Amino acid sequence: MGDIARDESSFYSNAEGYWRDVPPTVEGMLGGYGSISSIDINGSKAFLHKFLSEAEGKTGSGCALDCGAGIGRISKRLLLPLFRTVDLVDVTQEFLDKAKSYLGEDAKRVGNFFCSGLQDFVPESGRYDVIWIQWVIGHLTDDHLVEFLRRCQNALRPGGLVIIKDNVSYEGVVPDEVDSSVCRDLEILHGLASRAGLRVVHEEQQMNFPKEIFQVHTIALR
């Protein structure tokens, strides 16, 4: 058990160390692929509008949570234009400090800047219409991901959604020693969501990304 605890501890501390050395820029947040930012945001916007514009079972537009928010790239271009209030959570304080200037005037509509790893973060019960989790679940162990998704479910308002947008492997789990993360296949992701008591409402693959990077899928859960 001690070895498992040590491995888990280094899994998280190595990731924190990696991100501490990343510049607080859009290019840094996207691992050198800053050019895909608009494609990514436009795809996410089209995905989210399906739920915000539905008459029946519509998802509210009061408050969203940006998980693994970094400097607030997604908050600035996707969430703040669509929600009255947005909270940001990230493990790197420098990124959150940068977000306050990067978001400009819209920073006034940020409710909270939380500095925490998602494995430790407990979102407020019943606060959020949408919890957006992008390019960060690879930094959680399976058990911690399941536990976090359960906490997210508890944090949703009626009609609320948990949305995961992330890299997906073709088969199994692919580790990345550089940033201390893993990439899981869709079957594994679906299984973890199911363990958390969530069901897939809608799912899409993000199109028009560079061929050399992992496929990226967006999954809405409730």
User: Which residues line the annotated binding site for S-adenosyl-L-methionine?
Assistant: 68, 73, 90-92, 118-119, 134
For 21-24, the CB contacts below 8 A with 24+ separation are 22/92, 24/70, 24/71, 24/94, 24/95, 24/97, 24/98
Determine the number of helices (DSSP H) and then strands (DSSP E) in the chain. Answer: 7, 9
Annotated binding site: 68, 73, 90-92, 118-119, 134
- Strand 200-205 versus strand 215-221 pairing type: antiparallel
* Cβ atoms 115, 146 nearer than 8 A: no
